[in-house]
Amino acid sequence: MLKQSLDSTPAVSETIQLQQVAYEFRQEVRHREEFEAYCDWYYATAAKHQAELAAMENDVSPFNWFWRRGS
């Protein structure tokens, strides 16, 4: 009885190590997926803001009307 428990100890240790490695792998995959989603959102938002800025640069500023009238 005692001999069986000593023989099974390395197997239990290996199982726990494999579970730990699998857990860390899943964490890494989840982290990379979240980071990729964030990067996609960031680039899409930056492109949208650049398009809005380009559109705003072509708009007529109402303040220019006031400045021109005074001179």
* pTM metric for this prediction: 0.62
Instruction: Note the pLDDT tens digit of each residue in 6-21.
Output: 556 778 899 999 999 9
**HEC profile of 15-53:** HHHHHHHHHHHHHHHHHHHHHHHHHHHHHHHHHHHHHHH
What's the confidence (pLDDT) of residue 3? 55
- Give the model confidence (pLDDT) of 22-47 as tens digits: 999 999 999 999 999 999 999 999 99
Residue at token pair 């990379």: 32
pLDDT band at 65 (very low <50, low <70, confident <90, very high): confident
Q: Please state, for a pLDDT cut of 70, what percent of the chain lies above it.
A: 83
Mean pLDDT over each residue of the chain, to the nearest integer: 85
Rounded distance between C-alpha atoms, residue 64 and residue 34, angstroms: 45
